[in-house]
Amino acid sequence: MARINDNFLKLKAGYLFPEIGRRVGAFTQANPDKAASLIKCGIGDVTEALPEAVREAMHKAVDELGNRDTFRGYGPEQGYDFLREAIADNCYVNLNISADDIFISDGSKCDSGNILDIFGQDNKIAITDPVYPVYVDTNVMIGNTGDADENGRYEGLVYLPCTAENNFVPAIPDEKVDIIYLCYPNNPSGASATREQLAAWVNYAKANDAIILYDAAYEAFIQDPDVPRSIYEIEGAHDCALEFRSFSKNGGFTGVRCGYITIPDSVTGASASGERISIKQLWSRRTSTKFNGASYPVQRGAEAIFSEAGKKQVAELVAHYMGNAKLLREACSEIGLNVFGGENAPYVWVACPEGLTSWDMFDKMLEEANVVITPGSGFGAAGEGYFRISAFNSRENVIEVCTRLKNHL
């Protein structure tokens, strides 16, 4: 008898996006005339074309592979030096991070799930609420939780509520936890964390011998020069934090696939016997065993993001999406809604009008404005009463969404 991993049975059946799909399907079936004008601002996927510098570099890399003299087979599992060095030189200027601390992957979703391989079973794990669902579900799968309650909260996890009162950056818990997931700029709330807020978390982690898993997937969208772009801008973070980054959102790599984890030498965890073990060495060992590296053309494409032309093209993409975010913020404010996020992140997080739940608002927007948004409650119990509008769209669609918001709400 082949036994399955019973932890999978604890998972709530991927409720959010299937339920959005079901409601949109029902609406278009009942209103076929409106199907064509429906605008989707739901899923966090980029919409604009891959930068030219990236495409050129990828074409060139494919041609290299097509010539026996320049052909490459397996590359280094941890990533090619050309990309690791480009990242260290461009993303971590004066932050004491070397190319060797950077591990290239096929994206942050995989990294943030896979990292659990190297941690033990008895850790107390803290996640924010609302949250990127990957952190929760990967902990469920690996057996770090009990069952979910009626609010979808799993037994054994420590939930850190993020609300308007704390500017969507959680308060330091009064209990001791071992692993903390933080994501800033945040998906879904669009909030960013200040230096002081991150310093408080780093101090907590150091005092409690905890590790912070810091997801900086939206770093490129930060506009405010005072907002930290990396956790390593905070003193002490080199001893207690891993940073996850991705080319998905800045470089439009959601379909190309490339990301990385940064792990300084000084981050350690304890073995059963209390010995201190380097997290970087464990991750390197895990990578060599379970991964054969990201694709060569993709790593060349990622490297091109740091070229002169690549930087300019990425800056244009970011400016496009952040211009969308500004318009969406303004339109929501104008109709009297309470708006958060969208200033250092491509997500606008909006409080529902008095008396409407997140799903009420979803239905109202779908039926009256023919716009698909994401209900905040889908990201966690504390997201109830909010909805997320993604700025990943064409300018034309965003302008139309703003007009419809003003006309219908």
Ligand X SMILES: *Cc1c(COP(=O)(O)O)cnc(C)c1O
Using rule CB under 6 A, residue 259 touches ligand X? yes
Report CA Rg, the chain: 22
Query: Which lies closer to ligand X via its Cβ, residue 192 or residue 246?
Result: 246
What is the nearest approach in angstroms of ligand X to the Cβ of residue 120? 24
Which of residues 77, 137, 215, 343 is near ligand X by CB under 6 A? 215
108 is a contact residue toward ligand X (CB under 6 A): yes
Q: Does 107 bind ligand X (CB under 6 A)?
A: yes
* Cis bond before residue 185 (omega within 30° of 0): yes
**Which range, of 83-91, 106-114, 233-241, 261-269, touches ligand X by CB under 6 A?**
106-114
The answer for 370, left when phi > 0, alpha when psi is -120 to 50, beta otherwise, is: left
Please identify, using beta-carbon distances, which residue of 136 and 337 lies nearer to ligand X: 136
* Short-list 218, 259, 233, 256, CA closest to 343: 218
Question: Is position 249 an interface residue for ligand X (rule: CB under 6 A)?
Answer: yes
Residues 120-139 within binding reach of ligand X (CB under 6 A): 132
Does 376 participate in binding ligand X (rule CB under 6 A)? Answer: no
Is the Cβ of residue 130 or residue 259 nearer to ligand X in the bound state? 259
Nearer CB in complex with ligand X: 248/370 = 248
- Find the shortest distance in angstroms from Cβ 6 to ligand X: 27
Among 183, 305, 314, 405, contact with ligand X (rule: CB under 6 A): 183
For ligand X, the binding residue among 128, 144, 230, 254 (CB under 6 A) is 254
Which residue has the closest beta carbon to ligand X? Answer: 107
CA geometry: angle 168, 174, 175, nearest 5 deg: 110
Q: Give the count of alpha carbons within 13 A of 392, CB side only.
A: 24
Options 84, 109, 238, 388; binder of ligand X; rule CB under 6 A: 109
Provide, rounded to whole angstroms, the least separation between the CB of residue 169 and ligand X: 15
CB of 105 to ligand X, least distance (A): 8
The site for ligand X, by CB under 6 A, has a size of: 14
Binds ligand X by CB under 6 A, chosen from 40, 41, 42, 44 = 44
CB count, 10 Å around CB of 305? 26
- Beta carbon of residue 369, minimum distance to ligand X (angstroms, whole number): 25
Residue nearer to ligand X on the CB measure, 40 or 109: 109
Residue 192 engages ligand X in binding (rule: CB under 6 A): no
Stretch that binds ligand X, among 248-256, 270-278, 279-287, 355-363 (CB under 6 A): 248-256
Cis peptide before 188 (omega within 30 of 0): yes
Q: Is 246 in the site for ligand X (CB under 6 A)?
A: yes
| Per CB under 6 A, 287 contacts ligand X | no
Six-digit token pair at 406?
A: 């003003």
Q: Applying CB under 6 A, which part among 1-9, 74-82, 105-113, 231-239 lies near ligand X?
A: 105-113
Using CB under 6 A, list all residues that contact ligand X: 44, 107-109, 132, 183, 187, 215, 217, 246, 248-249, 254, 259
